[in-house]
Amino acid sequence: MPQSILFLCVANSARSQMAEGLARARLGPGVHVQSAGSEPSRLNPLAVDAMREIGIDISSHRAKAVESIDPGHVGLVVTLCAEEVCPTGFAGVPRLHWPILDPASPDRNTIEAFRAARDDLARRIEELSAGLFPD
């Protein structure tokens, strides 16, 4: 079972940031959780709001470049792009792809879109957790 998970998308502003917060809350301190993007921008305030609604504070998160991640500390890569080209790299590291629409795209940039992405991520992280940590 991987002791480290990296969530990747393009901007590292919404999906990957919410996934990082959700995974930290669900998987606990035994799993190192990170997120990054191929073209990092800034943390989207609606992502912060959507996570705050479920009691997870990601307001201190910052967008990070994929190049800033040490590949030696990555046991699983989860890419979250749906309409964009996902970052690559981390050869030899197991990879999952969860195509989740970007809630920050101009045609979706509403709290409802962020809630939908958050809830989809939460469901997938629960499923991942069940597979990683069977009872």
Q: Are 88 and 66 in contact (CB under 8 A)?
A: no
Q: What residues are labeled active site?
A: 9, 81, 86
Number of domains forming the structure of the chain: 1
Helical pair 45-52 and 15-27, crossing angle rounded to 10 deg: 30
Q: How large is the average pLDDT for residues 80-88?
A: 81
Q: How large is the average pLDDT for residues 77-102?
A: 88
Q: Are 36 and 85 in contact (CB under 8 A)?
A: no
pLDDT beyond 70 at 95? yes
Q: How large is the average pLDDT for residues 12-20?
A: 97
- The rounded distance, in Å, linking the Cα atoms of 106 and 108 is 6
Confidence of residue 2 (pLDDT cuts 50, 70, 90): low
The candidate with the shortest Cα–Cα distance to 23, out of 68, 49, 61, is: 61
**CATH code, 47:** 3.40.50.2300
Domain region containing 62 = 4-132
Per residue in 60-81, pLDDT tens? 999 999 999 999 889 999 999 9
Q: How large is the average pLDDT for residues 94-115?
A: 94
